[in-house]
Structure 1
Amino acid sequence: MHILLPPSEKKSVAQDGPPLDPAALSFPELRPTRERMMDALGKASRRGDAPEVLGLPAGQAAEALARNRALREAPALPAAELYTGVLYDNLAIGELDLERAAGQIVIFSGLWGALRLTDRIPPYRLAMGVTLPGQGRVSAVWRPALKEALRPDGLVVDMRSGPYMAAWKAPRPAVAVRVFRERILDGAPQRTVVSHMAKATRGRVAHDLIKAGASPETPEELLKAVTDLGYAAELDGAHLDVILPG
């Protein structure tokens, strides 16, 4: 089982430690594209219109741009510690066997392409949906490199958001996890898409599957593993729908 996760906009910062070592990152086939993206992001972050180009909120732009300009010198820390926010808080990596989790989780990134939890990287800001000057849409830049580098064997459990799915299409067998809230209105069940709780739920489902040592090989086995863990869920084609009560 391979669990695909998006990154998080929220990131920790290391106060000291060694800088990035590009040669030490997982998926070494991605290094040429990583180098190209680091150079392009550094240049874009020095532009007068950098906040608009990179889609940065006004209150976060100065800090994000400073980090982007210091990618090769800033202290790096493991992805397991770098990414924070709702999904990663609920993933609760500190409660898991890190070696097992790192072997099953792949994090997709606009700057690094794909990472393992143990890869050491500096804080940065580059979304997969950005159009980077001189490069084009970030997801399109990554598509050929990721196609060559990622060849998973076994079931893929896809918890990425849309822009990150656009960078690499998971081969079969693959199941994308969706989260809905169900309420009873006028005596009939009504489902709505949730956002904040969807991130939390995906993080918790990933945590529980890894902690339980689950190793489903088919969508049906994944459904059984998730329901055995106490979730209300069902299969809908290539989707696993997790249903939250209203």
Structure 2
Amino acid sequence: MLILLPPSEGKHAAATGEPFVLEELSFPELAPDREHVLDALAAASARPDAHAVLGVGESLAGDVARNRRLRLQPAVAAHSVYTGVLYEALGYAGMTPTQRRKADDSVVVVSALWGAVGFADRIPAYRLSMSVALPETGRLAAWWRPRLDAHLGPRADGHLVIDCRSSTYAAAWHPDPGQAVAVNVFQRRDGQLKVVSHFAKHTRGELARHLLTRRGNPPTSPEALLRVAREKWEAELLPGTPRKAHQLNIVLPEDHA
């Protein structure tokens, strides 16, 4: 089982700790690509129009300034850096040691800066979205796609890929459709199914937690994942095609809050 997550936009900056060590990150073959993006991000963050390039407001000046010295910043495990609705619902801190090891082995976060990192990889807080086009690099989703395909593809081989990423981050790597399931979340409203982004993030986090904390073997097929999801939610599975992953649709009740 491989669970793909998006990073959070907001990140927790550690107050103390040693800087990251590039060679210690998961997928070490990506080191030259990470060096490139680190340099490009530092250069973009030093520009007079840095906020426009990065698509952030002036209130995030501190984050932009930090981008210029990421190699010197304290680094901690990725599960402590990423925050927000999805990660709160996943609740890594409240897991048992065994469940945490399972999360460290099973979760990969697709990142605009790192390409992809494991849950236990030590990284600093940074500000960069996959939708950004860095000068002389281009839009990061397109830039990372062939590089992630070369290294995430082998990691996913033989595993069911449970894709909880947002569309922005899903664009950076397309797993083999035959072994991948994209997770969608809807809510019933006035008898119709509506997409609700806040609930979608929270429910994807809850699904990841359920997969990591439940007893029994992890699902190895889309149909098995559907059975696991139905332990907690109303859900349906739409079969994939040669070019599109299976779709797991989780349906929240009208009174869900």
TM-score interval for Structure 1 and Structure 2 normalised by the shorter chain: over 0.9
1:52 aligns with 2:52: yes
SS class of match (2:108): strand
1:227 aligns with 2:230: yes
1:176 aligns with 2:178: no
Distance 1:244 1:106 in 2: 26
Could you tell me which amino acid in structure 2 is paired with residue 227 of structure 1?
R
How many angstroms does 1:166 deviate by? 0.9
Distance 2:111 2:174 in 1: 14
Instruction: Quote the residue 1:113 is aligned against.
Output: 115
What do residues 154-178 of structure 1 show as CA deviations (whole Å, max 9, x unaligned)? 1111000112111110112111000
How many angstroms does 1:140 deviate by? 1.3
Map 1:71-220; keep pairs closer than 5 Å: 71-96=70-95, 97-150=99-152, 151=154, 152=156, 153-171=158-176, 172-183=178-189, 185=190, 189-213=191-215, 214-220=217-223
How many angstroms does 1:225 deviate by? 0.9
SS class of match (2:71): coil
Q: CA-atom RMSD, angstroms?
A: 1.0
Of the candidates 236, 240, 243, which is equivalent to residue 238 of structure 2?
236
Instruction: Quote the residue 2:242 is aligned against.
Output: none
SS class of match (2:230): helix
TM-score, length-scaled by structure 1: 0.95
SS class of match (1:35): helix
Gaps in structure 2 of 5+ consecutive residues = 240-245
SS class of match (2:72): coil
How many angstroms does 1:58 deviate by? 2.7
Aligned length: 240
SS class of match (1:72): helix
SS class of match (2:127): coil
Distance 2:121 2:199 in 1: 27
Distance 1:3 1:57 in 2: 31
Contact 1:55–1:130 (CA<8 Å) still a contact in 2? yes
What do residues 126-172 of structure 1 show as CA deviations (whole Å, max 9, x unaligned)? 10111000100101111111111112121111000112111110112
What do residues 90-138 of structure 1 show as CA deviations (whole Å, max 9, x unaligned)? 0101123221101111100000000111100011011011100010010
Could you tell me which amino acid in structure 1 is paired with residue 166 of structure 2?
S
Could you tell me which amino acid in structure 2 is paired with residue 85 of structure 1?
G
Gaps in structure 1 of 5+ consecutive residues = none
SS class of match (2:70): coil
How many angstroms does 1:57 deviate by? 2.3
Percent identity, please: 47
Distance 2:114 2:33 in 1: 8
TM-score, length-scaled by structure 2: 0.91
Instruction: Quote the residue 2:243 is aligned against.
Output: none
Instruction: Quote the residue 1:11 is aligned against.
Output: 11
Distance 1:103 1:208 in 2: 15
Distance 1:225 1:212 in 2: 9
How many angstroms does 1:64 deviate by? 1.4
